[in-house]
Structure 1
């Protein structure tokens, strides 16, 4: 199974009825009814084309890139200090 690299686009729209049209451009992940925005995932090779298409649509207010692919997701483990473990012991 080959995984394609994907990136999210955050699209602000004017009316909830426009969600059906937004589904055509990528994988719709979530929609906020109150703030009127949607998160749509598309392939990274096509992201520039989709961004331009979204900006041309009349019912789209604003488009932004998701920064998730640029964030480092490998974390280092925190080394425990042995002295600190014994500080809280009470000798009775």
Structure 2
């Protein structure tokens, strides 16, 4: 048994109906639901991300899906003071 941490991808899913958006929990882990802005932030398996995003976009209550850009940001900072 190896205790690997699964690669996760964060998604912002913009929805038309929050009550129907609860069913997104079957496709991944819901982290946050905004009632005012009508979006759901969730995590999905990174290995199956493209397939899962296509499935989510086809749902009738979904406006659009944005991927998290956290992996593309540089997290190494250099000290620039002399």
Work out whether the TM-score is over 0.5. Answer: yes
Taking the aligned partners of 2:76 and 2:6, their CA distance within structure 1 comes to 20
The ranges of structure 1 where at least 4 consecutive aligned residues each deviate by more than 3 angstroms after the TM superposition are: none
Report 1:1-92 matches (<5 A).
1-79=3-81, 81=82
CA-atom RMSD, angstroms? 1.3
Unpaired stretches in structure 1, ≥5 consecutive residues: 82-92
More helix by share: 1
TM-score of the superposition, structure 1-length normalised? Answer: 0.78
TM-score, normalization by structure 2: 0.86
Please report how far the alpha carbon of residue 2 of structure 1 lies from its aligned counterpart in structure 2 after TM superposition: 1.4
Unmatched tracts of structure 2, length 5 or more? none
Specify the structure having the higher radius of gyration (Cα).
Answer: 1
What do residues 34-84 of structure 1 show as CA deviations (whole Å, max 9, x unaligned)? 0100111112111101110011101111111110111111222343x4xxx
